[in-house]
Amino acid sequence: MSKPVLWITRKLSANTEARAARDYDVILNPEDRTFSADEIVAMSQKVDAILPCHSECFDATTTARLSDRVKIIANHSVGVDHCDLAVLKARGIVVTNTPDVLSDATAEIAMLLLLGAARRAAEGDMLVRSGNWTSWSPSFMVGTQVTGKRIGIIGMGRVGQVMAKRCRGFGMEVYYHNRSRLPEGLEQGAIYHESLDTLLPVSDFLSLHCPATPESTGLMNAARLSQLPKGAILVNSARGALVVEDDLLAAIESGHLAAAGLDCFVTEPGGNPKFASHYNIFMLPHIGSATRETRDAMGFRALDNLDAFFAGREPRDRLV
């Protein structure tokens, strides 16, 4: 019996690719190049399944052109804002993602962003590397202390809960907003806010952990940023679309926000060049889940979903 033909659109971990090659007739991408919509459509005529990353867009137009041969898209990501789920469902294409396995790694990056923004890490690194660290005084490089401060978390799912745990380790008071309140056992003392209008004014730090949806796009705009306390710090390790970047820049330049820590941007790759001259914006190139352990776990989770589907079982992480 022939194996299903699987296209892995990007270069994944060696362990993932080895397992895929064992169980599937796999098409790899050793050059790690990106593909246009036309190339995705052309490849769909040759494969039974696609294992894509966030870099491949399955919008309504592309999805409508996919070959009927494609039966499942097993995403190598938690977020699926690159997929038009309604159109994929109408086409009868199963869609899965990889939850759970990247929560720790992403929360680590969120904490790095929080600390880096609070303690002026980008500015300090630049001073030392450039050879411009020539003096010291008690007023030198004074930043924002994290211990004992209030952290507001928007989106108390898997990553948000791990982030809350990390913040409690720093003695922070945890507040959160979610679509629904967590059971008391999962709250671990975090204080629920039904509305952003009550969460934002008490958030010395605000960390975003919600998905990008039509409802959450542009969530942090000028009006909402203005509700944060003066001197607050924004952290975004979720999706760039959650933040109106020009409004964030205005809040930084006015001094209303002390700093920001960003791992994701509206334009990726590339980021926002307007942020580059502001050393109180601590930036990383969307590497929240980029650890060896997590990349293996994500690849294996995607393959687990594919294995279940082709064995006639319900994939664990089926979305549509």
Active site residues: 239, 268, 286
Please state, as a whole number, how many other Cβ atoms lie within 10 Å of the Cβ of residue 61. Answer: 12
Any idea how long the chain is? Answer: 320
Q: How far is CA 139 from CA 135, 163, 180, in A?
A: 11, 31, 44
Check if the beta carbon of residue 164 is closer than 8 Å to that of residue 153. yes
Instruction: Give the tokens for residue 43.
Output: 């490849």
Dist CA 242 CA 219 (whole Å)? 5
For residue 282, the surrounding DSSP H or E stretch is strand 281-283
Letter for the amino acid at 205? F
Q: Which two tokens stand for residue 201?
A: 């004014």
DSSP codes of every residue in 128-185: HHHT------TTTT-----TT-EEEEE--SHHHHHHHHHHHHTT-EEEEE-SSPPPHH
Contact 237, 106 (CB under 8 A): yes
- CA angle in degrees (0–180, nearest 5) for 42-78-34: 35
Tell me the C-alpha distance between 117 and 119, whole Å. Answer: 6
Instruction: Indicate the DSSP class of residue 273.
Output: G
Evaluate whether 295 touches 104 at the Cβ level (below 8 Å). Answer: no
Residue whose tokens read 């600390």:
115
